[in-house]
Amino acid sequence: MNIALIAHDEKKQEIIHFATAYKHILEKHELFATGTTGKKISEASGLDVFRFQSGPVGGDQQIGAKIAQDEMDMVIFFRDPLTAQPHEPDVSALLRICDVHRIPLATNLASAEIFIRGLERGDFEWREIIKEKLAKKD
Ligand SMILES: O=C(CO)COP(=O)(O)O
């Protein structure tokens, strides 16, 4: 599965702890992140993370583009709901495109933990089935 990890500045520590705690599960997947989030996660956990641009300069849009192309299977986005973001339109667009394409989206630690346990159990295998069907259509 291709998994995107994103966190606003006030949530960076939280996503670092999350990625480190669940490294044994996350390392079985392809990980993607916005620039600063990816750098911090890989430095702290040693996980291999592909890094897009930083969020405020286009990283959220790049992840949105992957979703539009059905190339992202899950988004874990620790949003900061208490701080205004200069790139709020990009954030909203990313959440919207997840809903358009029915991409599992966790926006806080509690839901992300449920996702990660589901990931471990194989609850998201339906994503692979959908992708295989899409590939056959091409
Ligand atoms: O702003 C972000 C998401 O909207 C995150 O970007 P960074 O990971 O580059 O800080």
CA distance 51 to 48: 10
| Atom from ligand 1 closest to the CA of residue 90 | 4
Question: How far lies 126's CA from each of 3, 16, 82, 104, in Å?
Answer: 15, 28, 34, 11
Reading the chain (138 residues) residue by residue, the pLDDT tens digits are 999 999 999 999 999 999 999 999 999 999 999 999 999 999 999 999 999 999 999 999 999 999 999 999 999 999 999 999 999 999 999 999 999 999 999 999 999 999 999 999 999 988 888 888 878 877
Q: Classify burial at 52, counting beta carbons within 10 Å of its beta carbon; exposed 0-12, middle 13-18, buried 19 or more.
A: buried
**60 carries an active-site annotation:** yes
Q: Does the Cβ of 51 fall within 6 Å of ligand 1?
A: no
